[in-house]
Structure 1
């Protein structure tokens, strides 16, 4: 496979390489409520790395209709671009596949409250099959942030405050979503790398100040576990800066720790618009071009949700601002995961949809019941009068 990938890269123009490092959000390809051939010819002429939210990104889209759209886009990429490289399609699925008609499960904080690892793996396997039904390849879940400040606005998306529980839940989720291998499963994405759950003042996107030991023992631990134990295939950076360095341009996080220390060999994708934020929020880059250079040098392979700053990389190579070999490394990883996922031989066909079956709903109901936390016992749980003392663990 490596030889085949090198052969493709050697044939690519720098513009075609950069296209593999980008994404087009599905609405960019629509006009008047329909898939536009003109927009495909304009935005996909050099190929593309990913297509964002083709099933869940259009309001009211029926899954069956979305499959037709995916088929048309892949057909265009395979037959009408010079190299015929198909795209990865990504969706959200934190508490269920986030598309019309799919099963909704309790939020992550509820899943964590079950303390039931096999149950979480089963839920993720149901999500996997529903996503496969619509020919989606890449899931932007699970969220592996350890929540250390209850004021933070994304607490319910996390598995809680205990790093061991977060890691255990994350490993179970990744195993269920990816299955035995990503060719048969769905590419899982651990996010947000790293320390996102402890922002200054509890405000989302605020700076994070964590010492080295706490960073590794608490906030990196769930990611490390998912990489080493579950074979996590994708990582998403966080929005904030960690001790003054934005995560989107942190080579220490995205390359030195993730790849060199842990041996991660998957892809790193940007959180939506986080590369652009290097110049319009963090102000560490003067423009889109510099933001793109900082991000790819740090280790981000694909810019989501659309190619914006990375669009400038082709010009940066020609101007001598970045070595083309850095682009090639990222392209290699993108093509590698496309081969591993089986995209080049994938056949898209209509299937009967089994979304939200009785069995799936029963699983969601069982999970909801197990997620309930009793705060006050008003006769709900009978306690024997013969019990003389009860140990209460925790803080009042």
Structure 2
């Protein structure tokens, strides 16, 4: 009999398909198999499939700053500015982790679709130096330390804790100095080295060096001579050189097109795109494919293949770290069940985060009444009727980047309050007509006139309803026509029709509680003078009505604190384009008296502070000084206190901030009890950037440590010296 034919051993899989190999080897193997045309196609945000290598298409653009956005049903959490108001990084971590879980489910639904990827343009690590900025809602406020802590928590929650695979790749944005919409596509700001290093850059440094963020987005705006995505001093020297960033730098949406059309940075699109990649940008985020221009740049020699490989090494490393080239069973995050999407657990977390973000701005007795007690919390047993009025009485405004299809029907103030009090209290609302004055034309003018008549009637109806009710809950605030990406505000006022409404409502019924729905700060001096209670609710979660009702009726004690200063007017502010914060911007440098200071927030209870104790009287630049203080709840309710530690230089050879936040802790203290609060102070945080030495310098001298309930409510002080 003839011997059986030999059976050839199966060919081993390509190295890039072998999950046992190091990621660097796999990426190098993959790039070695790709043609120049295939490589260039992968520099685009919408990267096409490469069929012969069985590489699926991938879209880098997904949004998740406060929940999975633009991808159908998902949980909408409070906006970033609201999360910052919690002063609770652990809670922000849990929110981000939930967003990451839902992102994994969405990716499984449509792995190659836009908004279904695993690279999320979040968090926004920008600093809100000016309250008029249209994107304040997307930030964690005005303070570098607070923004850094919150960004770090969000990054860690989103990316997960697996040593091999990221759950989702987080992106810190927008590097660097971006803080206004006006002229953002064509303005190059000149920012001093001190302002850049001491104010704008620290949160990004923390997100990258401590948080290990996978991606970084370059700003639309330019900095010190170069557009954001073509600034090698930032994207290469600083980001890669100093901070050792190994991830992907992405341009912002359509930014590649603006290099030539707005900035006139190069004579051709090919030259502009080549300059961006040469400067350190890796992924080009553009509607109309840049493929043709990139290919022309490569063939002309303006874009060497070595630079293309450099960009793609970073890009594919991220995709490998997300497990996109490995069997799903090896990736722990692929096992997240579909049931987490909009789950009851996530809705409960949205409500918890919403509650923690509420800032009680005012709580006093009702004017003209004998009872001296603050109006809040309300006692539903003593009420027969409640009027819920205003533009956000029975409608919610979420700001930008909410989930288009909520996990559950959004809970308005009217619905939340009605559910809380039950049938024994009559809860009534009045309709509201919105005015859209942004559109032009005769047809719209006619509609606008009709809307004005409708709004006038709705105001009159609200006044009548207020006069007939025991208590009024007025939902006021801003929306997408007032502040959003692409539009800054001219002032800090509420819309005029809302000012008229609340003035007349307070006259008709002094027992009025104002609930604010907004992103950026508001100048509300007259409301503060007339309404006995004001609750800042920001752009909330879909559980907003329940959270606000919980606070108003005392089911929990509100303890949110302002992550940004509320001014009495826009008039004391520097011009919108002023980038040097030392010229009077933020609590760090502002010398006037704000309406509500940074870190401010009231409680239904009272806290007393003991002496501030430091573990040493002298410290060196590398030391971690430990501060401690005993805080006692001397009121009648359990509550959270946000203990804030500031430092003020008593001696310095250069101008320094009036004070700066160095540590904080949100802690729950039962009524009648006290807690010892430990707060670490890094002496290196007190450094200034020496422009001559091009280095941070901790200057010897006296420092005053301050602990208190806000930047303006300091309860105890202690001095130490830096040697």
Match in the other structure for 2:66? 95
Match in the other structure for 1:32? none
Query: Closer, same or farther in 2 for the Cα pair 1:6/1:105, shift >3 Å?
Result: same
Contact 2:158/2:167 (<8 A) preserved: yes
Match in the other structure for 1:304? 285
Match in the other structure for 1:364? 350
Query: Closer, same or farther in 2 for the Cα pair 1:126/1:273, shift >3 Å?
Result: same
User: Following superposition of structure 1 onto structure 2, how do residues 151-300 of structure 1 map, counting pairs within 5 Å?
Assistant: 151-181=132-162, 183-197=165-179, 199=180, 204-205=184-185, 206-300=187-281
Match in the other structure for 1:115? 87
Decide which moves more: 294-303 or 99-108: 99-108
CA distance in 1, matches of 2:81, 2:154: 13
RMSD (CA atoms):
2.5
Query: What secondary structure sits across from 1:368 in the alignment?
Result: helix
Contact 1:276/1:308 (<8 A) preserved: no
Contact 1:270/1:303 (<8 A) preserved: yes
Contact 1:153/1:203 (<8 A) preserved: no
Query: What secondary structure sits across from 2:172 in the alignment?
Result: strand
TM-score by length of structure 1 reads: 0.79
Contact 2:67/2:77 (<8 A) preserved: yes
CA distance in 1, matches of 2:335, 2:288: 29
Contact 2:229/2:251 (<8 A) preserved: yes
Among residues 26, 29, 48, which one is paired with 1:7 in the alignment? Answer: 29
Matched length:
338
Shift of 1:246: 0.7
Contact 2:140/2:146 (<8 A) preserved: yes
Query: Closer, same or farther in 2 for the Cα pair 1:179/1:349, shift >3 Å?
Result: closer
Match in the other structure for 1:85? 55
Query: Closer, same or farther in 2 for the Cα pair 1:203/1:313, shift >3 Å?
Result: closer
1:271-320 alpha-carbon deviations (Å, 9 max, x no partner): 11111110111111223212211110111111114463354222212112
Instruction: Determine if the alignment matches structure 1 residue 18 to structure 2 residue 40.
Output: yes
Shift of 1:148: 0.6
Match in the other structure for 1:34? none
Shift of 1:100: 2.1
Contact 1:93/1:139 (<8 A) preserved: yes
Shift of 1:383: 6.0
Among residues 105, 111, 116, which one is paired with 2:77 in the alignment? Answer: 105
**More strand per residue:** 2
Contact 1:147/1:155 (<8 A) preserved: yes
Among residues 125, 131, 152, which one is paired with 2:97 in the alignment? Answer: 125
Gaps of 5+ in 1: 25-47, 50-76
Query: What secondary structure sits across from 1:131 in the alignment?
Result: helix
Shift of 1:368: 1.1
TM-score by length of structure 2 reads: 0.44
Contact 1:22/1:306 (<8 A) preserved: no
Shift of 1:139: 0.8
1:238-284 alpha-carbon deviations (Å, 9 max, x no partner): 00011231111001111110011100001111111111110111111
CA distance in 1, matches of 2:710, 2:322: 49
Query: Closer, same or farther in 2 for the Cα pair 1:145/1:392, shift >3 Å?
Result: closer
Shift of 1:391: 7.9
Contact 1:151/1:203 (<8 A) preserved: no
Contact 1:128/1:186 (<8 A) preserved: yes
Larger RCO (CA within 8 A; separation ≥ 6): 1
Shift of 1:333: 1.3
CA distance in 2, matches of 1:256, 1:307: 30
Contact 1:106/1:368 (<8 A) preserved: yes
Shift of 1:204: 4.5
Query: What secondary structure sits across from 1:268 in the alignment?
Result: strand
Query: Closer, same or farther in 2 for the Cα pair 1:184/1:367, shift >3 Å?
Result: same
Query: What secondary structure sits across from 1:275 in the alignment?
Result: helix
CA distance in 2, matches of 1:84, 1:149: 48
Among residues 320, 325, 329, which one is paired with 2:306 in the alignment? Answer: 325
CA distance in 2, matches of 1:391, 1:297: 48
Query: Closer, same or farther in 2 for the Cα pair 1:7/1:203, shift >3 Å?
Result: closer
1:52-81 alpha-carbon deviations (Å, 9 max, x no partner): xxxxxxxxxxxxxxxxxxxxxxxxx3xx61
